[in-house]
Amino acid sequence: MGVRPFGRADQDKPGGKLRQSIVKQMSLIMGLLILFILIGGAVLYWADRSMLAKFEEQANLLEKKVALAAEISQSMSNLMIEYRGYIAYQLPQFLPRIDANKKRVDEGIAQFRQLALTEVDREHLTFLEEESQSYMRDWIEVGKRMIESGQREALTTITAEAGYLDFSDELRTRHQQFAEQMLVAQVELRTENDRRVKQHTLYYAEYLLLIALIIGVFAVRFARDVGKPLRTLALFSEHYEDVKIINLPYDKREDEIGYLTRSLKQIFLRFKANERRLLDQMEELKLQQDEMMEQKEQLIMQQDELHHTRAKLREIEQRLADRRTDERQGGE
C-alpha cells in the first residue's frame, strides 16, 4: 500500500524548478559581491588616478612658475646688460636687443599672469611688473632720450649713481627667495601627496577588511542556512529509523534543503509503513504457523487414537480367534 503524507512534497520532483534554489541564491550573492568589489576597486582606482593627476598638475604648475620666474629674471638681467652696453658704447645695435629682451620679459609676465596664482605668486609678479616698467621708464627711455639729445656725460654720471648693482642684487635676491618659496611649496605638495597616498592605502585596507567582513557574514549565513541543515540531514540519513526525523523544521523551505527533508520524511514514513506491514504479515504468519502446529498435534493425536483402536481390534480379533479354536477343539 502507498503512503502519501506530504502533498507539497509530491509537487517537488528531482530536476524540477524550485522557488528558492540555493544555487541561484549563492550565484546571486557571489555576483553582487563581485560587482561590489569591482565598483569599489573602480572607485579607489579613480580616486588614486585623480589624486596622482592633481599632484602632477600642481607639481608641473610649480615647476612652470619657477621656470617662468627664472626666464623673466634672466631676460631682465640680459636687458640690463644690453642697456649697460648701450650706454657704454652708445651703438644703435644694442636697441633691437633691448627691445627683444623687453618683449621676452613682457611675454613671460603675461604667461605667468595666466597661471593659477597664490598670494606669494602675485607678490612676486607685481614686483617683476613694477620693476620692469620702472626700469624701462626711468632708465632705458631716459637713457635713450639723453643719448639722442647728446647728454652722454650726464647719462654716464646718472647711470653710475643710479645703483645698478643694487637693483641687480635685489632682482637676484627676490628671485632666489621666490625659488626657495617654490621649493618649500613643492616639498609641502609632496608631503601632502604622501599623506593622501597613506590615507588612500588605509582606505584600501579598510575596504578589503569590509569585503572580508561581508564574506565572513555570508560564510556564517551559509553555514547556518545550508551547512548545519545538510549536516543534520546527513546524520539522520545514517539513522533514518530515528523517529526524530519527523520533527525536522526544514520541510517548509522552498529550496533543495526543503526538498531533501521532505524526501527523507517520505522515505521514513514509507519505511515505517512497510515495517508495520511486514510486522503484521509476520504476526499473521506466526498465527498460521501456530494453527498449523495445533492441527499437526491434533492429527498426531488422531493417529495415536487410530493406532490404539487398531491394536485393540487386533487384540479382540486374536481373542475371538483363540476362542473359536478352543471351541473347535472342545467339540471334537
Confidence band for 9, pLDDT divided at 50, 70 and 90: very low
Does residue 245 lie within any of the structural domains? Answer: no
Does residue 128 lie within any of the structural domains? Answer: yes
Does the structure show a pLDDT above 80 at 148?
no
Does residue 190 lie within any of the structural domains? Answer: yes
Percent of the chain with pLDDT over 90: 14
Does residue 8 lie within any of the structural domains? Answer: no
The DSSP call for residue 162 is S
Smallest CA-to-CA distance from 283 within 298, 299, 291, 271 is with 291
Summarize pLDDT for 251-282 with one digit per residue, the tens. Answer: 677 777 777 778 777 877 787 788 888 888 88
Does residue 168 lie within any of the structural domains? Answer: yes
**Distance between CA atoms of 101 and 192, rounded to whole angstroms?**
38
The confidence score (pLDDT) of residue 247 equals 65
In CATH, what number is assigned to the domain containing residue 154?
Answer: 1.20.120.1730
Summarize pLDDT for 22-79 with one digit per residue, the tens. Answer: 777 778 888 888 888 888 888 888 888 898 899 999 999 999 999 999 999 898 888 8
Does residue 104 lie within any of the structural domains? Answer: yes
Does the structure show a pLDDT above 70 at 85?
yes
Q: Give me the number of domains the chain comprises.
A: 1
Does residue 304 lie within any of the structural domains? Answer: no
Its domain, for residue 33, covers 25-218
Does residue 156 lie within any of the structural domains? Answer: yes
DSSP string, 281-330: HHHHHHHHHHHHHHHHHHHHHHHHHHHHHHHHHHHHHHHHHHHHHHHHHH
